[in-house]
Amino acid sequence: MPPSPEVSVVVATHNMARFLPQALGSLLAQSLPRSRFEIIVVDDGSTDSTQGVLSRFAGHIRVLRQSSRRGLVASVNQGLKRARGRYLVRVDADDEVAPDLLNLGCRVLAATPGAACVVSDRIEVRNGRRVRKKVDPSNLYTLIACGTVFPTRLLRTIGAYRKVYWEEYDLYLRLREHGEFLYLPVPLYFYRKHARSMTHRMEERRRGWQELLSCWGVETLRSAGTNPELEAVIAEGAIL
């Protein structure tokens, strides 16, 4: 049996055959030696040409197929369950990553064993336009779910992702009790924003904030940073 990789990359996908080749191609172009990371693709009941796309990458990826759709959180957690790497990175099937994401993230985490994760700036892509977004580890709402490098064992210890709309904020809120959030001031993730994105619809975003408020309360959410959508929902007093 081959030795365990240093890092596992989990790509959960549902009907994203259009973008999947670019996502996987960017992962195979990493500066980290290929022997040191694995790519796990969780196909969440896709009905488009996803299986054909994945067959083109045979030998380079591990594929976990779910015959029926179970949802994003369940799919990511399935990938986490099967991950063999010391570290874990989540990448969405419609995004891409910079060549040094894995190399830099693993190096920084290895140098700071007690850290909870490594985050970096990102490039947001909409209609061909690219905008750099700086993140602030002290404001969790500037972070996104993907492109962050985590210690795999820590994710498992805190119970992985939970089934809430803002699953990334819920995860980061739990993670901050377990160590420092390290920051790389370089854009290492390319986040594609389009009409099919899960966070595109404003009404669903609003319900997501209500759900998070019900789970964590106003004081805890405000202690994690600032977000105008969150404040608007607080002002409405409409908490589930």
pTM, two decimals, is 0.94
Contacts of 195 (CB under 8 A, 6+ apart): none
Q: 20: closest CA among 192, 195, 144, 199?
A: 192
Residue 186's SS3 state is strand
Superfamily of domain 7-198 in CATH is Spore Coat Polysaccharide Biosynthesis Protein SpsA; Chain A (3.90.550.10)
What gap in Å lies between CA 88 and CA 106, rounded to an integer? 9
Ordered per-residue pLDDT tens for the chain, 240 residues: 567 899 999 999 999 999 999 999 999 999 999 999 999 999 999 999 999 999 999 999 999 999 899 999 999 999 999 999 999 999 999 999 999 999 999 999 999 999 999 999 999 998 889 999 999 999 999 999 999 999 999 999 999 999 999 999 999 999 999 999 999 999 999 999 866 555 568 899 999 999 999 999 999 999 999 999 999 999 987 555
Residue 42's SS3 state is strand
> Regarding beta strands 117-126 and 181-192, do their DSSP bridges make them parallel or antiparallel, or are they unpaired?
parallel
Residue 94's SS3 state is coil
Domain ranges of the chain: 7-198, 201-240
Contacts of 10 (CB under 8 A, 6+ apart): 40, 42, 76, 79, 80, 83, 88, 89, 90, 91
What gap in Å lies between CA 89 and CA 124, rounded to an integer? 18
Q: 69: closest CA among 46, 90, 50, 52?
A: 46
